[in-house]
């Protein structure tokens, strides 16, 4: 299986590539597996976004949407059984102060992924959403206190889950939202958001 990764941070891209290649898929074109996401700077509340920051958020969402669309069109035209994995930050499921752009982008792309799962399933294309983070190396260490496992997620762990969802054995998994977050999305941080500059 050939794959591509688009729109993610360098660290997450490396972890996803590492997890996928360890399981067998290789980065090459044309793809049977497309991994798509967004990389937005954190630290902003929605009401505080400048016009430029809002345009950057919308631009990233638009780029991810069209990447999903291109992947689906390519797979459909070639008549291949394929996979599209939409990677979104944990804030898509659990909004936090200071993470407004991530929450907006992730929520939109989660919905796009689930709609695409319904529309593309008859064509042999499975679409799933992977909710990741908070990630080691990008999230403040204090965030680990809000994660039930007591640590931040490693990018390679996200890649390993992508490999599981890409496997033929996961053919019945479609439209799922799979969290790779140490339990973060099912908890609430005491005292407010661990991402906010001040609570």
Which pLDDT value is given to residue 199?
A: 44
Q: Are 82 and 56 in contact (CB under 8 A)?
A: no
**Could you give the number of structural domains in the chain?**
1
Checking if the pLDDT of 194 tops 80, the result is: no
The answer to whether residue 198 is domain-embedded is no
- Using the CB atoms, write b or e for 107-119: b if 16+ within 10 Å: bbbbebbbebbee
The answer to whether residue 170 is domain-embedded is yes
Which pLDDT value is given to residue 81?
A: 92
Nearest to 138 by CA among 152, 149, 157: 152
Residues in the chain: 199
List the domain range (segments joined by +) for residue 153: 2-186
Nearest to 85 by CA among 104, 61, 64: 64
Q: What is the mean pLDDT of the chain?
A: 91
The answer to whether residue 99 is domain-embedded is yes
The answer to whether residue 147 is domain-embedded is yes
Distance of CA 121 to the CA centre of its chain: 20
The answer to whether residue 72 is domain-embedded is yes
The answer to whether residue 128 is domain-embedded is yes
Which pLDDT value is given to residue 74?
A: 96
Mean pLDDT confidence for 69-96: 93
The answer to whether residue 171 is domain-embedded is yes
Lowest model confidence (mean pLDDT) among 29-33, 61-65, 140-144, 177-181 = 140-144
Which pLDDT value is given to residue 193?
A: 59
Checking if the pLDDT of 190 tops 70, the result is: no
The answer to whether residue 56 is domain-embedded is yes
Checking if the pLDDT of 88 tops 50, the result is: yes
Which pLDDT value is given to residue 43?
A: 73
Q: How confident is the model at residue 197 (pLDDT cuts 50, 70, 90)?
A: low
Mean pLDDT confidence for 57-85: 96
Which pLDDT value is given to residue 91?
A: 84
CATH of the domain at 27: 3.40.50.720
């Amino acid at each position: 299986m050939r794959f591509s990764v688009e729109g993610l941070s360098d660290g997450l891209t490396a972890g996803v590539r590492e997890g996928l290649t360890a399981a067998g898929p290789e980065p090459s074109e044309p793809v049977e597996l497309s991994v798509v996401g967004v990389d937005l700077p954190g630290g902003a509340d929605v009401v505080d976004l400048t016009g430029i920051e809002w345009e950057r958020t919308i631009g990233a969402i638009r780029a991810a949407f069209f990447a999903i669309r291109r992947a689906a069109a390519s797979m459909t035209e070639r008549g291949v059984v394929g996979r599209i994995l939409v990677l979104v930050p944990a804030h898509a499921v659990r909004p936090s102060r200071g993470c407004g752009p991530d929450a907006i982008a992730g929520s939109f792309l989660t919905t796009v992924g689930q709609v695409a799962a319904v529309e593309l399933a008859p064509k042999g294309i499975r679409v799933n959403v992977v909710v990741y983070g908070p990630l080691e190396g990008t999230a403040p260490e204090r965030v680990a206190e809000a994660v039930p496992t007591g640590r931040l997620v490693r990018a390679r762990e996200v890649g390993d889950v992508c490999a599981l969802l890409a496997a033929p054995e996961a053919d019945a998994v479609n439209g799922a939202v799979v969290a790779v977050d140490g339990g973060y999305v099912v908890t609430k941080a005491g005292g407010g958001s661990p991402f906010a500059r001040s609570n």
